[in-house]
Chains A and B, each alone.
Chain A
């Protein structure tokens, strides 16, 4: 594996939903300014793993986690770590675009506002910058007061990306961000991912293997809660080391 700066280091992560173990002994390094794709069949643990990276699993009852997820050198599962603070730095985009039923402007300004930014001028700047970064500014700049729900599905997802960018995160987790979108909207999101990785570290869960191949630098293949293979995407899709991975990426099972 090529050398790069490690942004998140996962060490022997285990996770249980009640009695059922969902992640078994996962260790992997997520590299700065790279796109890491998590692939695998449904129920393989890839989404659970993603949500373990910003402690979104905390919201589910009966979840128990063991092992370490080191972010900026600190285990995010330490008692002293505030999940709220963590989530400011590790943002998330969901499968179903979920803009608030507010205006486009208010959607983007939501994060900065809850951090106490009140100054209208600063908010305006953040909103414009974030919408530009999400490649949405030109499409919505004239109706920022329109409801976030009134724009198309692809635009809504980019609005959600802008909203996440507005709080200036370091890592962006994406949970099948394009699975509900048509091919054109999907390729816009993919294009956006290429742009965003210059500034952010991106981890993306996708059911679409071709998408993983197109957008990612590294790919991790999960199966039954275990990490089967983790390597440079090119390697995974041309010469995987493990037969299981080969079978999955060639569509022979799963």
Chain B
């Protein structure tokens, strides 16, 4: 019916997808840099952050215009609200990717450990989670979003075992203290990325099915 408005919604979605792919690329680069000790990639991640920031502002403005000029309702309104939150989420994921990249660079300055402990496992899962979260948004697929929610527990467990493992490590060898702290920091950032990917999945479910799944809101009701 209202084709003009639909075109504008479509272009909001397109730019948000673009934002998502830039962020995902940054996360992947940061993680690759981490696993393969690539300084170049880590620097690239840090440089790319400005691009993410300007995209965030662009999306913010588009959302304000749509709200002010088109008075969206129902699924259109849910989409725009979800888009606003996802925009915010992606920007934060971008920040965490930068944090990881900085830690990468720190790790390279000191002597890294032979083992990254649980981190390689976390990386695999998080890449998948983030990708699925973004795909569920692009395809409006609440089922896929649901699997993201379910994977989050794995990351939490891995993060917890990371902590104990690093403590063990520190107890055994005091020289590893700097390296251990960086690893904790990285693990923490990864855990945050997973959390935010979960948030994105929750927004997709809100937009697609008008269900509020965050904070176990449905179970409480």
Contacts and interface: CB of A to CB of B under 8 A. Distances in A.
Chains A and B touch (C-beta atoms under 8 A apart)? yes
B68 interface: yes
Using C-beta atoms within 8 Å of the partner chain, give the interface range for chain A: 10 to 19
Nearest to A188: B1
A194 B4 contact: yes
B3 interface: yes
A233 B65 CA distance: 10
Contacts, number: 30
Contact of B68 (A184, A187, A190, A213): A213
A233 B70 CA distance: 12
B71 interface: yes
A191 interface: yes
B2 interface: yes
Contacts of B5: 214
A5 interface: no
A187 B68 CA distance: 17
Contact of A210 (B1, B2, B4, B71): B71
Interface in A58-92: none
Interface in A205-220: 210, 213-214
A238 B65 contact: yes
Contacts of B71: 210, 213-214
A218 to B, nearest CB: 13
B145 to A, nearest CB: 31
B212 interface: no
Contacts of A238: 64-65, 68
Interface residues of B, number: 11
A113 interface: no
A191 B69 contact: no
Interface in B1-25: 1-5
Contacts of B2: 187, 190-191
Contact of B65 (A187, A194, A210, A234): A234
A137 interface: no
B4 A234 contact: no
A214 B3 CA distance: 12
A176 B124 CA distance: 59
Contacts of A248: none
A213 B70 contact: yes
A191 B4 contact: yes
Nearest to A212: B69
A190 B68 CA distance: 17
Interface string A193-212: 01000000000000000100
Contacts of A234: 65, 68-69
Given A238-B64, A238-B65, A214 B1 contact: no
A94 interface: no
A237 interface: yes
A213 B69 CA distance: 5
Interface string B67-107: 01111000000000000000000000000000000000000
Contacts of B65: 234, 238
A211 to B, nearest CB: 10
Contacts of B64: 238
Contacts of B68: 213, 234, 237-238
Contacts of B70: 213-214
A187 B69 CA distance: 14
Nearest to B4: A194
A234 B70 CA distance: 11
B63 to A, nearest CB: 11
A-B pairs with lowest CB-CB distance, top 8? A213-B69, A237-B68, A194-B4, A238-B68, A187-B2, A210-B71, A234-B65, A238-B64
Interface of A: 184, 187, 190-191, 194, 210, 213-214, 233-234, 237-238
20 contacts: A184-B1, A190-B2, A190-B4, A191-B1, A191-B2, A191-B3, A191-B4, A194-B4, A210-B71, A213-B70, A213-B71, A214-B4, A214-B5, A214-B70, A214-B71, A233-B69, A234-B68, A234-B69, A237-B69, A238-B68
Given A190-B4, A210-B71, A213-B69, 12 more contacts: A184-B1, A191-B2, A191-B4, A194-B3, A213-B70, A213-B71, A214-B5, A214-B69, A214-B70, A234-B68, A237-B68, A238-B65
Interface of B: 1-5, 64-65, 68-71
